[in-house]
Amino acid sequence: MLAPIAYQHPREEILQAMERIYRYRMTTTSGGNLSIQEPNGNVWITPASVDKGSLRRDDIVCVTPDGKWDGLRRPSSELPIHQRIRVKRPELAGIVHAHPTALVAFSLVQGQVPNTRLFHQSHRVCGEPGYIPYELPGSMELGEAVAEGFAKGYNSVILENHGVVTGGKSFQEAFRRFETLEFTGKTLIKAKLLGGDVRFLSDEQLEAERSRKVMTESFEPEYPSSDEKELRRKLAEFVRRAYRQRLFISTQGSYSVRVDKDSFLITPRGTDRGTMEAHDLVLVKNGRFEAGKTPSNAALMHQAIYHRHPKVGSVVNAYPVNATAFSVTGITLDSRTIPESYVVIRNVGAAEYGWQFGDGQQPAELLSETRPALVMHNDGVLVTGTDVLQAFDRLEVIESTAEAIINARAIGALSPLSDQVTRDLDRAFFGI
């Protein structure tokens, strides 16, 4: 999920994760602590009283099983949380504790946790979160209370008036749960601000994802052409950019680019979007995928779109939080906000939940030159373009449009562009 870890020191894993957590404002300078337990019982943990925005490799502390610690700094004051969790759940090698704003908001409303049935990915990754009553930070009482929550089987717990703790069998799994739960919380808050009823997935809908159609046959690819290499470079660059812009999270979001009429490149399943490289991308040709790799679960849908729409050169599924808020309500995402939005994304369609788990024909049929984007019920947005850049631009514009609409609702009634204005735009930009 983060950078390849086979030979990576725990210090590097912690540094990379804290850099992301701090950069994307999921904790503050003084807040948050991360740890990794090795098979020999040593625990590597962030230090106490050190600026999280300038953390260095040598700041990470090693605590041995007998309680001694080795390093230039003292271990985090929240070490008791990490220690007590592992007494109850010794398999949890990775633990993340931080104060991301959406989950802190939930911690301020007694007993409230994000309902992960908002998305099938959230429910699968996080399960149901727990809730822990307030205890003094750094105390053994807090450590014991959090550990009791994990002992009940929760892998993520909200701490009353405090923050969140997530755990995983690997540090990557703990980070993935942390990032996904914060995304879920943010989307719920945005959906509430947007208005309308928030839709949650039933047991049957959650089960539908488990039986989705996926590509099963592989092939041995030929040596890539210079054109394919360039497309790989460009697509990988835009995938990383989508992560930096918070249009993707680390393991959610698929992006593809057409190579020719029979083949396209697509993001792999389960690989970190923040560190995506050209060689990670998967070539799909005539319904089969590059041997030794696993394409995104959305590959069949992307394939159906390319077959039905010869002018489409790139497809992206994404989860930008504001646009995704529309996907969990019944509210239409109206592009008639400013001229740029209307010209770039035209009309935005809506696709029923579950269509993305089939052969992709239903979403493909909804798309057209005047409807290049779809809101996927409880599954973010689907955006197309003639190339990688146009698809990315449309994705950014649809998210900016969604955010502007949500923000405007706090000010007053929306005033969309008039029919006369849209007709003028159609003539000026599309000759119709």
Q: Tell me: the pLDDT tens digits for 372-402? A: 999 999 999 999 999 999 999 999 999 999 9
For the sheet with 43-45, list strands across it. 69-70, 61-63, 43-45, 33-37, 94-98, 163-168, 156-159, 130-132
Tell me which residues of the chain have a pLDDT lower than 70.
1-6
213-430 and 10-194 share a CATH fold: yes
What is the pLDDT, as a whole number, of residue 1? 42
Q: From CA 169, how far away is CA 129, in angstroms rounded?
A: 17
Q: What is the β-pairing status of strands 348-351 and 373-376?
A: parallel
Q: From CA 253, how far away is CA 250, in angstroms rounded?
A: 8
Q: From CA 200, how far away is CA 337, in angstroms rounded?
A: 28
Which tokens is 77 given? 């004051």
What is the pLDDT, as a whole number, of residue 6? 58
Residue 143 burial class via C-beta count within 10 angstroms: exposed 0-12, middle 13-18, buried 19 and up: buried
What is the pLDDT, as a whole number, of residue 3? 43
In CATH terms, the fold of domain 10-194 is: L-fuculose-1-phosphate Aldolase (3.40.225)
Q: Where are the alpha helices (DSSP H) in 152-202?
A: 171-194
CA separation (Å) from 428 to 334, 339, 343, 423?
Answer: 20, 11, 10, 9
What is the pLDDT, as a whole number, of residue 72? 82
**CATH code given to domain 213-430:** 3.40.225.10
Q: Where do the structural domains in the chain lie, given as residue ranges?
A: 10-194, 213-430
Closest CA to 133 of 111, 163, 115, 153: 111
Three-state secondary structure call for residue 297: coil
Three-state secondary structure call for residue 108: coil
Contacts of 195 (CB under 8 A, 6+ apart): 329, 331, 409
- Judge contact between 194 and 329, C-beta under 8 A: yes
Residue 320 has phi, psi (to 5 degrees) of -65, 135
Residue 410 burial class via C-beta count within 10 angstroms: exposed 0-12, middle 13-18, buried 19 and up: exposed
What is the pLDDT, as a whole number, of residue 16? 92
To the nearest 5 percent, what fractions of the chain are helix, strand and coil? 40, 20, 40
Count CA within 13 A, CB hemisphere, residue 79. 21
Q: From CA 140, how far away is CA 132, in angstroms rounded?
A: 14
Q: What is the pTM of this model?
A: 0.93
- Judge contact between 156 and 177, C-beta under 8 A: yes
Indicate left, alpha or beta for 41 from its phi (over 0: left) and psi (-120 to 50: alpha). Answer: left
Is the CA virtual torsion 7, 229, 385, 350 positive or negative? negative
Which tokens is 76 given? 């985090």
- Judge contact between 329 and 244, C-beta under 8 A: no
